[in-house]
Structure formats: C-alpha cells, structure tokens
Amino acid sequence: MGRKGVCCCCAALRPRYKRLVDNIFPEDPKDGLVKADMEKLTFYAVSAPEKLDRIGAYLAERLSRDVVRHRYGYVLIAMEALDQLLMACHSQSIKPFVESFLHMVAKLLESGEPKLQVLGTNSFVKFANIEEDTPSYHRRYDFFVSRFSAMCHSCDHDPETQTEIRIAGIRGIQGVVRKTVNDELRATIWEPQHMDKIVPSLLFNMQKIEDVDSRTGPPSSPTGGEKEENPALLAENCFRELLGRATYGNMNNAVRPVFAHLDHHKLWDPNEFAVSCFKIIMYSIQAQYSHHVIQEILGHLDGCKKDPPRVRAGIIQVLLEAVAIAAKGSIGPTVLEVFNTLLKHLRISVDFELGDRRSSAGSATFSTSSKENDERIVQNAIIQTIGFFGSNLPDYQRSEIMMFIMGKVPVLGATSQSLDTSHLGDLGTRRIQIMLLRSLLMVTSGYKAMTITNALPAPFLDPLLSPSLMEDSELRQLVLEILHNLIDRHDNRAKLRGIRIIPDVSDLKIKRDKISRQDVSFMKKHGQQLYRHIYLGCKEEDNVQKNFELLYTSLALITIELANEEVVIDLIRLAIALQDVAIINEDNLPMFNRCGIMALVAAYLNFLSQMIAVPSFCQHVSKVIETRSLEASYFLPETIFKDKCNLPKSLEKHEKNLFFLTNKIAESLGGSGYSVERLSVPYVPQVTDEDRLSRRKSIVDTVSIQVDILPGNNTEDKIDNTEEITFEALKKAIDNNGLEEQEKEKRRLVIEKFQKAPFEEIAAQCETKANLLHDRLAQILELTIRPPPSPSGTMTITAGHAHYQSVPVYEMKFPDLF
C-alpha cells in the first residue's frame, strides 16, 4: 500500500502529475507540506508548463473535497502548494492554472469558517502581487469584490474574530484594486456597481474605529504592526491607494459613493468624519482632478437644498476644506461655479430664515428660534467658504472674484446681475447685502495690487461705494473696511487703529512709497468720488464710534498711499467742509454726531500736518487742539468717545480759536510752496444718481431754477417772445415726456463731466456761471415792470431768501448754463 492508502499498482497507473500532487500530502496533516515532494512537483510544473492547468484542476478537486469533509489541515497544505506554484511559474500557460486557483480561493471565501476565509484572502493577496506577462481580459473579479466587501461588514459575536475577518476583507479589496487598476483595458473595477461596494466598505471600517477613538481620546501613533491589526488604518491606506490610482474618467465613480455613505449614516451633522474623508480624498487624488471633487460637492449641495440647515452647513464646511486644499493647486474652471453656487444657497438660506420668521409671527417658539440660529450657521459657513477660497486665489483670479461678488450685491433701484431679492423684502435684502460685503471683506484681505487702479477699477468702485450711502451703519462700516483692504498696500492700517490725537506720527513708523503716475491719474479721475462718500458718510445720523474711526482711517490711508500736493489741498478742503457741517448743522444732526465730526477733523488734521511736515501748519493745528483740550474737550476724540461725556447744548457761541481756520492754513501752506488758491473754494459734493439708488435723503432739499435774460433793445423781438412763450406753453413744455428724456441725458452728461473733468476747469466754469447768474438777476431787478397781459403771465423768482414778484415771463428764458 502506498501513501494515503492507495495500492502501488493503482498508483503506478495514475498520471504522473496526480502522483506528484498526492505525494505532497503527508499521512498526518499536522506534519505539514512534504517539502521534497513539493520541489519535485514544482520542477515538473516548470519543465512541463502545459500540465499546469491539470495540476491546478486536480488540486482544486482535492481542496473542494477536503473543505466539504472539514479536513482543514489538508486544505492548508493545498493552498500552500498553490501559492508556491504561483510564485514559481510565470509562463503564459499559467492562466488556466490561475482559473483553478481563483476557483479554490472562492471556495474558501464561501465557507463559513473564519480561518478558511482568512486563508483564502491571504492567497489572493499573494496572487495580486504577481505581475503577469500578459493581461487576461476575460477574467472578472465581481465575486471577489462582493465577498471581500461583505467581509468588511462582519458582525461576528467574537470581537477578535470580527476584527480578523474585517482586516481580511480590506486586504482582499486592496488586492483586487492592485490587480485591476493598472490595466486600462480591464477597468471594470471602476464601474459604479463595484465602487458602490468597495468605497462604503472602506468608509464603514474607517468610521467605526473613529467612533471608538472619539470616545477614548486621540489615538497614539501606530507602529507598522499596529497598522496591520487596525482595520481603520488599513482601510484608510486602501482608500488612499484607490483614489491615487483614479484617472480623469473614473474619478466621479470613486467619489459619489462617499456622499451616499455619509447621507445614509447621517454623518453630515456632526461632520468631523465627513471632513476627514474629503481631506483624504483631496490629498490622495492627482492635483489636476481636484475640480472634479469640488463639482461633486457642489452638485450634492444643490441636491440637499431642502435638507435641514445643519446638514447643509456640514456640506458647506466640507466644501471649505476641499477648496482650501484645491486653491493651492489647480482647480480648473470651477472658480466662478463655486461662488455662484454658494451665493445661490446664501439667498436660499435667507429665504428659509425669513419664511420661518413670517410663519411664526406672533408666536415666538423655541423651535423657530433654533431654526433661525441653524440658518445663521449655514450663512456663516457660506461666508467663511467664500472668503477663505477667495483669499487663497492668485491675484488675477481674486480681482475677478471681487468683481463677481460685487455684481451680486443688490442695490436698490439698480438693474444688474445681482441676486434676486425682490421676494425677500427690505430685511432680506439688507441681510444679503451685509453677508455679501462680509464675504468681499474676507476676499480682499491681504490683497496687494501694484497700482490702485488695479485694486479699484471703475466698474468695481462705483457699485462698492453705493452701499456706503445707505441708511445702515453696518453696511457703511463694511464698505469702508473693504476700501481699507484695497488702499492699504503697506500694512499701515493696524498702526492707525482707533481715532486719537497722535503726539508724534513718526513713532508709528509709517511705510510709504513715492506716489506713482497711475495713482495720480486715479485720484484725478476718482478722488472726488472718494471725498464725496467720506463727506456724506460723516453726515449720517446713525453713526457710532466705529464709523468715525473707519472714516478717520480712510482719510489717513488716502494721505499715506495716494496724496500728492494737489490731493493734500483737496483733503484739507474736505476737512474744513466737515467742520462747517458740524458748526452750521443744516442737517439737524444730534450733538454727539456734531462733536464726533469735530473730533474726526481734529485727529485727521493733526495726522496730516505731521505727515506733510509744514511747521506753521503743525503749529496752528496744535494750538487749536490745545485750546480745545482746555475749553472744549468734547471736540477731541479722547473725550467725545468716552462712555460718559458731557455734551454742549449748542456750538454757536464757541470762539474762533476752537476751530481750524482756512486763512491760517492757507497762509502756512502758501509759505511752503503749496498752491493754496483752491483752499478759498469751499468743498461741495456733487449730486449723482447714487443718492436715489441708495435710498437716502437727497443732499439737495430744493431745486434751483437757472434764469437767463437775453438783453436787447429790439422791442419787436420782445413782442414776438411774448406771443410765443406763455404760461400755458411753459406748462405744456414741462409736462412733455420728451423733455424728461432730455433732462435725464443732460443730468448724465453733467455727472460725467464732474467725475472726469479737471477740478480747475469745473471751479472756473462754476464761478463764471455763478457771476453770470448774479448779474442777470440784478438786471431783472432793474427792469421796468410792465403790466402783464394776464394774471397767469407772472411768476415768482426765488434767489436765496429774497423774493421778487411780478417779473414778466417774456423777459425770461431758461438757458442751459452747463
């Protein structure tokens, strides 16, 4: 009798490969593989590779029989023999043998014995590490994907066995990935039906261990052996490897199952695990594919727009982490898409918040308040994402994003591409404006343009300054802070923080460069626009201390970054005009505002005088400040902005030595070579359509009628004029629609002229027209009053506070003085 109870005669008749296979099995499986006979079998297989398929088939037959009979010792020997044959044979004939090998591995994985499942997995991993000479396109791994994924979700009652099976499943998935992803023609592993099993299985193990870690504290750094025993670390490594092998065509298939897993297990709130997953994704994939992940997050956010606010906030925070990583590299064409989607969801969030508030009007409940707070979380997350993403973009892209966001800010009465807030009402529109400006403030943080023209182009400056005229102090504060970010190119703003009288400006160590030609050109074109908004901003009744501080900083930054001699004169004129606003008080401002403006002017002129270093100018400013400190300390910022400050009842009785005088300033600057002729011309801001669009009170309370008299001795011409121009004719002409269009065009031309024409030309023309108007009004008074042809033929002319009655209409004409 031979080995295994087979008679010698029968054994001699068996094929040689079967005899060699039988010989490797000992009488007692505890003795293990017979190494001498295994070497003979290996030599035979290498010498006769055509027999490999038969050897494999026979080994598979024996293994199947031993599995059924629960003779696990012989099963272990068979798998060991298969492993050694695989490692030794690399010919093309190995492919049929591989089919037998995979069939045996499948048998082991199907068994309910954990040890056999682990054994089959280990053999498959060894096989996966073998590089075949030629790929086998007909071979599929669907069964192994399904089986290994199921093992990753093992729920065995024994924790050690459960962990062992899960680790085997993860290693099996890793083997499948390594065996298939390198071959482009065998890309079935990237199909959605496979990714929907592989990715959730890996995330499940990563999530389970993270839950344990969150309860027991942060884990210690694992060693190499611990990584093999820790399903979470092994799953994370496999997940990284899978994503690292993903290409352009299959990236989305690998990412979409992540969203399904997070949705199914409700992992967006809290979202720590979701954030960690996408950090792994963004750092594992190739940099040029980052925009694919961002697009998928944006798409998922659109699909969840009706989900609870905390879920949406969790998704947005994940997007923040993703764009923070992607902004450091290439994110492709998705920049505007990111901002457009976020702004859309910002409007949706405000709509939900206001809708909840309207539905619960009159019955303030805890749940409604909680919903509003949750929506605020969503809105803050959107703002942080916009700001962080924008601040990490290159300068050329950041300027485009600034224009894009500014174009979305709704301005009352303006037609643009802004967000649709018509159904939100005034409160919703204000909320959108504030949040967009907060986003813009974050985007502009740290932005350093070479020239001010690049930082504040006209298409951006005009809409930016429009909210600064609105009757909302918070909006005006945001606009000024954005201006500071863009104007301050040498980081001087921190040194100017807080409005105060600075004893020695040189101690601040202000950094500045010589004013460039581009900056000079910018101030010639847009300087009056900046002055105007500072002037009007000081006159708002709801100004608080922060508003005055920001206005002071604006003036100081313009002085540092953009001031030449001409701009210095304009700034002084502006400061004196603000002082006159506080003294005359035509706008009926509260006493706090009037004293605040006086303190602002004092702090700024103190700063300006030391910056231009004209001794006599400094002496005048210092003398006024010293006098105020003794007689009217409420005109200084250190006093007026205290919590308890005694305000005066009026400012009319104050002496001139408490005020900054134009003639004193002109005298001091004239001696130092400054051109001070324009100091005698009071600063008056021009009226534009922005006042109407910004819904603020117009700075012009009356409409002046410009009257022109055509002198002449020709009586016939006067008679003809009497016949042609009557009161009814004038009334009909004024009501004509065509005249309205002409007036609009005329107004536009005047505005454009005052924005772009040189100041000297405008001042000279205004002075000429004013003198002409004065002379012609004088001529009216000297005319002999003729009896009018009818009672309707007379009208009243109002000039200042004097009224002149019964001037014949045929003596008057309404010319275009401009």
**pLDDT at residue 701, rounded to an integer:** 36
Q: Tell me which of 32-36, 207-211, 302-306, 400-404 is least confident.
A: 207-211
Residue-wise DSSP of 30-59: GG---HHHHHHHHHHHHH-GGGHHHHHHHH
DSSP 641-676: TSSS----S-STT--GGGS--HHHHHHHHHTTT---
Between 101 and 658, whose confidence is greater?
658
| pLDDT digit string, tens, across residues 439-457 | 999 999 888 888 899 899 9
Contacts of residues 246-252 at CB distance under 8 Å and 24 or more positions apart, as own/partner, are 246/190, 246/285, 246/286, 246/289, 248/289, 248/292, 249/190, 250/187, 250/190, 251/285, 251/289, 251/292, 251/293, 252/292, 252/296
Confidence of residue 18 (pLDDT cuts 50, 70, 90): confident
The pLDDT score that the predictor gives to residue 695 is: 42
Q: Long-range contacts made by residues 109-114, C-beta under 8 angstroms, separation at least 24?
A: 109/144, 109/147, 109/148, 109/151, 110/147, 111/67, 113/72, 114/156, 114/161, 114/164, 114/165
Q: Is the pLDDT of residue 340 over 60?
A: yes
| pLDDT for residue 200 | 95
Lowest mean pLDDT among 3-12, 101-110, 181-190: 3-12
User: pLDDT tens across 81-104, in order?
Assistant: 887 887 777 655 566 677 878 888
What average pLDDT does this structure show over 148-153? 94
Please give the helix or strand (H or E) that residue 794 lies within, else none.
strand 794-799
Task: Assign 763 a pLDDT band (cuts: 50, 70, 90).
Answer: confident
At 422, the pLDDT band (50, 70, 90 cuts) reads: low
Mean pLDDT of the chain: 79
What local confidence, expressed as pLDDT, does residue 190 receive? 87
pLDDT bucket at 775, cuts 50 / 70 / 90:
low
The string of pLDDT tens digits covering residues 619-642 is 999 999 999 999 999 999 999 998
Region 322-328: mean pLDDT is 79
Question: What tens digit of pLDDT does each residue of 197-228 get?
Answer: 999 999 999 986 555 444 333 444 455 555 56
- What pLDDT score was predicted for residue 138? 64
256 pLDDT above the threshold of 90: yes
What is the pLDDT, as a whole number, of residue 79?
A: 85
Is pLDDT of 129 > 50? yes
pLDDT of residue 707: 30
Query: 134-165 b/e with 16+ CB inside 10 Å = b?
Result: eeeeeeebeebbebbbebbebeeeeeeebbbb
Q: What is the DSSP string of 432-462?
A: HHHHHHHHHHHHHTT---SSHHHHS-HHHHH
pTM (two decimals):
0.71
Looking at residue 698, its pLDDT comes to 36
Mean pLDDT of 661-686: 90
Say what the pLDDT of residue 314 is.
94
Selected residue with higher pLDDT from 187 and 55 = 55
pLDDT grade, residue 706 (50/70/90)? very low
pLDDT tens for 279-298 read: 999 999 988 888 889 889 99
Q: Region 224-251: what's the mean pLDDT?
A: 83
Tell me the percentage of the chain whose pLDDT exceeds 90.
Answer: 36
pLDDT at 14: 73
Which has more pLDDT, 574 or 744? 574
- Is residue 148 scored above 90 in pLDDT? yes
Residues 560-583 pLDDT 10s: 999 999 999 999 999 999 999 999
The more confidently predicted of residues 94 and 496 is: 496
